Each structure stands twice: as structure tokens, then as C-alpha cells.
Copies of this chain bind each other. A is one copy, B any other.
Amino acid sequence: MDQRKSFGSDNHAGAHEAVVRALSQANTADVTPYGADPWTERATAALRTAFGARGGAFFVFTGTAANVLGLSLLLRPYEGVICAESAHVNVDECGAPERLLGSKLLTVPTRDGKLTPELIGTRLGDRGDEHRSQPRVVTISQVTELGTCYSLEELKSLGEFCRAQELRLYVDGARLANAAAHLGCSLADLAACTDVLSFGGTKNGAVGAEAVVVMAEELAAEVPFLRKQQGQLASKMRYLAAQFEALLDGQLWLRNASQANAMARRLAEGITGLPGVKLCQPVESNAVFASLDPAHIARLQQDWHFYVWDPAAHLVRWMTAYDTAEADVDAFVSDIQRTAAG
């Protein structure tokens, strides 16, 4: 284990101490398994309230699983999912949606990871043609894989477009907390106009827990069966629920996301104006995308952990986490400065 803070990803961090403490506190007597326990009842009730989700909230173990479960609520076998080419669901899930859902992803190239009504419209021409997978769900990532956020106006516009087009809207919210922190809005604001969302705990300081939030009541009845069938029903559910309870308590999730976002901004500010270093996406969450000289990338990677996002473009991704400190950023910036200065 390196002593230096990783800028590789927000899942390199451990769990927030409040989360681990909650696990210990949940470790009491027998309870009914599979979610009929007080922790699950409290945590799902809290999520239901926070999102205004009449369909309820359901815990699963991973982000891929949350996406598959969420999408499976919304699709018939011949229906497809419109998403950005850069979407996690398209790029980083080893084909799980195709394998587990059997559905085609109808991808759209984007500049910043964000879909627009216009971009979605490019995939709607095949409706009614039996030779084509039928577009039925739009999935967006909030925040996107490029660290950008949909504004509330953009979300509203997408939601209205989807409703008008009889498309359903699913949100991959592995970093939804960071979006709420960036936009200064509530989770319910982010959920308005959507059908199903995931709400990521793992990257926010959990040990490993994600929630699938179902907005409409009529979508909820299928979740227990689909979750079980997809291998995501925890028998000792209390330990998933307790993690979320800890994150929801006093809005720890928001403090965690705010800290991560602030550190990304601090990092971005620290490198602004450096010769040969260019910010490549607006910093709207806890990720900084920058391009720099490949030799400088190599030199920095000797001491620091981060990913090259696109080798051809000399593009790197630097991520902060809930536990990234100002001193971590400052040390990293200082090394970048030194490297850039040659």
C-alpha cells in the first residue's frame, strides 16, 4: 500500500469510518433475512423519502448489478437502450447488459458524455421496423464517465423529451451524490422526470452497496424477483442497509461528495495555466480530465496512481475521493508543476 493518496479512482479509498461503525452496530442478534429487518426498513424508507420514490429502493452489491436490475424493469426482449458511447453500461461492464438483459445498446457518440434530445433523436428512426431493435429506454450517467453533470434544466428537457417519445429514462447514478453536491440540489430534484435510478454508495464511502431507486409504484412489484434472479439478493441484508443508513445520517453522503468535488476543483485550479497541461472537460464532480506530455505522464505515474484515459490523446483522468485531503492535492499539484516545468 502506497502512502500517497491515489488519484486512480474513488473506489481505491476505504470506507468512511461511520460506515464501518454502522456495520459493527448492526451486528447484533438474529433478524429475518432478505430485507425484512429494521435496518433495511429504515434505510429504504429514508431513500424513498429523499428521492420521492413511490416505487421504493432496493439494495444490490455492485454498480453493474444496479444498472442491469434497473434496466431489466423497463425492457421487453426486443427493446433497446439508447446510451452514450462512453457510458459505463456500454464500455465497462464486460457486456453484462447484452448477456443478462439480452438487449441491444443503441450507442451515440458524444463530446462530453452527455446525451441530448437531438442525439437521442438520431436513434429513433427505426421505430416500428421489425428488423430493428426498438428504442425504449434512454440511460444517462449522472455524473457522466467524463466527470460532467447534466444541469437540472438539461435533465428536465431530457425527461420531457423521453415522456413525449414514450421512452423511459434510467439514470446510472454511481456518482449521483457528486452531482447533487455540484448542482446544489436534492436527490429528488435529480430524480424528477426519471423512471429508475441507481444511487451509488461504494464510491461515496461505503464498503460496497448500491441502491436501485424506483420512482413509479407500478414498476416496483417485479424488483424482488429480478434482484433474486440476478444473484443480488443479500441474505444478511442488514449489512447493506446499515451502510446506507450511515451515509444518509446527517447527509454524510453529501459531505463526502462535496469534499471529493472540492478537491477536484482545487486540483484543477492548481494546474490551470501550467505549460503543456490542458483541462479537457469542465470539472463538475470529482474527476479532472487533462492532457499533458506523455513523457510527463510517465514521470508522474512513477510516484502517483492514476489512469491514462486515452493514450492517443495523452488524456489522463485524476479522481478525488471523499477522503482526499487538501494536502494530498497540493502535493500532487506540486509534482505536476515540477514535471510540467521540465
Residues of A whose CB lies within 8 Å of any CB of B are: 1-3, 5-6, 8-9, 11-15, 17, 20, 23-24, 26-34, 38, 60-65, 68, 72, 76-78, 80, 91-96, 98-100, 102-104, 107, 130-134, 202-203, 207-208, 222, 224-236, 239-240, 305
Q: How far is the CA of A92 from the CA of B207 in the complex (A)?
A: 27
Q: How far is the CA of A153 from the CA of B71 in the complex (A)?
A: 43
Closest B residue by C-beta to A3 = B29
Q: Is the CB of B26 within 8 A of A132?
A: no
Closest B residue by C-beta to A67 = B231
Q: Is the CB of B96 within 8 A of A231?
A: yes
Please indicate the chain B residues that have their CB under 8 angstroms from the CB of A103 in the complex: 95, 98-99
Please indicate the chain B residues that have their CB under 8 angstroms from the CB of A78 in the complex: 94-95, 99, 222, 225-226, 228-229
Q: Is the CB of A224 within 8 A of B1?
A: no
CB contact between A232 and one of B32, B61, B72, B222 (< 8 Å): that residue: B61
A69 nearest CB across to chain B (Å): 8
Q: Is the CB of A231 within 8 A of B12?
A: no
Please indicate the chain B residues that have their CB under 8 angstroms from the CB of A63 in the complex: 235
Oligomer copy total: 4
Please indicate the chain B residues that have their CB under 8 angstroms from the CB of A228 in the complex: 64, 78, 93-94, 96, 130-131
Please indicate the chain B residues that have their CB under 8 angstroms from the CB of A11 in the complex: 33, 235-236
Q: Is the CB of B131 within 8 A of A93?
A: yes
Q: Is the CB of B91 within 8 A of A132?
A: yes
Q: Is the CB of B28 within 8 A of A20?
A: no
Please indicate the chain B residues that have their CB under 8 angstroms from the CB of A134 in the complex: 94, 225
Q: Is the CB of B24 within 8 A of A62?
A: no
A263 nearest CB across to chain B (Å): 14
Q: How far is the CA of A27 from the CA of B208 in the complex (A)?
A: 12
Q: Is the CB of B207 within 8 A of A23?
A: yes
Closest B residue by C-beta to A26 = B14
Q: How far is the CA of A134 from the CA of B221 in the complex (A)?
A: 12
- Given A95-B78, A236-B207, A27–B1 Cβ distance below 8 Å? no
Q: How far is the CA of A202 from the CA of B61 in the complex (A)?
A: 14
- Given A20-B24, A76-B222, A77-B99, A233–B130 Cβ distance below 8 Å? yes
A300 nearest CB across to chain B (Å): 16
Q: Is the CB of B27 within 8 A of A12?
A: no
Q: How far is the CA of A334 from the CA of B60 in the complex (A)?
A: 40
Q: Is the CB of B91 within 8 A of A229?
A: no
- Given A228-B131, A236-B202, A12–B31 Cβ distance below 8 Å? yes
The 8 nearest A-B residue pairs measured at CB: A65-B231, A78-B225, A95-B104, A95-B133, A130-B224, A11-B235, A99-B102, A6-B30
Q: Is the CB of A231 within 8 A of B133?
A: no
Beyond the given pairs A94-B225, A99-B103, 8 more chain A to chain B contacts, judged by CB atoms under 8 angstroms and listed by A's residue number, are A14-B28, A20-B23, A24-B24, A32-B305, A60-B231, A63-B235, A91-B131, A95-B102
